[in-house]
Amino acid sequence: MESVRAVLVDIDGVLTMSWRPLPGAVGALRRIRDAGLPVALVTNTTSRTRASIARTLSDAGFAVAAEDILTAPAVTAAHLAEHFPGARCTLLNSGDVREDLAGVTLVDDPDVVPDVVVLGGAGPEFDYASLNRAFGDLQRGARLVAMHRNLYWRTDEGLQLDSGAFVTGLEAAARTEAVITGKPSAAFFGAALAHLEVSAREALMVGDDIESDVLAAQRAGVTGVLVRTGKYLPETHRSASGEPDHVIDSFAGLPELLGLPQ
């Protein structure tokens, strides 16, 4: 695959599971970097900041730094700055990512009607009271911005419900449409390509989510590689809206797919 000049890689389910390296992933990433291919780790993870993710991956043996990572919260901050400058925003998210939302005006006062309701990743914070408050704010005219539409992710305890189900419910109840800033939005992949300074046809995306990672990348002109780890399910693959350019068992097999030397 001589045309590939850069690699985009999802983290959860591709490099790690519950933040522990998947077999062969550390060595595979090292081989890709040793071959001189720039790498960007592109993730919808909303529970940690870029700096925190970088520290965790580094401690696990991956040679990465914060500048190698593009997260949904970071892209969301850029979107809000461009399209809603100075807007008052409420944030419903599991995990503290305020560091990556620098410049966003976050309000916690329940008596203040926000301009934008921002949804991140689901967790215990997504209780009835919080979701109902978001519903009320949307009825009063707030816009809905969601970091992603992921329905679930895989942990050591199996598949866990994510915020996509709540995004869909709020859209239907409030008769609105969310702006999605993370994967699978074209803007997210555009930001990643700009970060790596390559064109879409020169990049390759590796992910475990056939729709949000792989087919979304292919719609943006990026070569897609689906791995059979993480949230991969054969039935989801069979019922997908398209077919990946490549399917491999795990990220450990990517160097061979790329034709890299041992």
Q: List, for residues 161-191, the tens digit of each pLDDT value.
A: 999 999 999 999 999 999 999 999 998 999 9
Tell me the pLDDT tens digit for each residue of 34-59: 999 999 999 988 989 999 999 999 99
The yes-or-no verdict on residue 110 having pLDDT over 90 is no
- The residue that leads in pLDDT, 204 or 262, is 204
**Angle (nearest 5°) at CA 9 between 202 and 163:** 125
3-state class of 36 per DSSP?
Answer: coil
CA distance 114 to 135: 12
What pLDDT score does 89 carry?
Answer: 98
CA distance 24 to 16: 10
CA distance 220 to 30: 27
Per-residue burial over 149-171, b = 16 or more CB atoms within 10 Å of its CB, e = otherwise: bbbbbbeeeeeeebbbebbeebe
CA distance 114 to 138: 9
What pLDDT score does 228 carry?
Answer: 98
CA distance 47 to 66: 15
- Please compute the mean of the pLDDT values over residues 147-158 and round it to a whole number: 87
Asked if residue 126 lies in contact with residue 189, where contact means CB atoms within 8 angstroms, the answer is: no
Q: Which two tokens stand for residue 251?
A: 């990220």
Cα 87–chain centre separation = 24
18: left (phi over 0), alpha (psi -120 to 50) or beta: left
Asked if residue 63 lies in contact with residue 31, where contact means CB atoms within 8 angstroms, the answer is: no
Cα→Cα distances 5→2, 34, 259, Å: 8, 13, 13
What pLDDT score does 201 carry?
Answer: 96
Q: Which of 13-17, 148-152, 202-206, 211-215 has the lowest mean pLDDT?
A: 148-152
Q: How confident is the prediction for the chain on average, in pLDDT?
A: 95
What pLDDT score does 221 carry?
Answer: 97
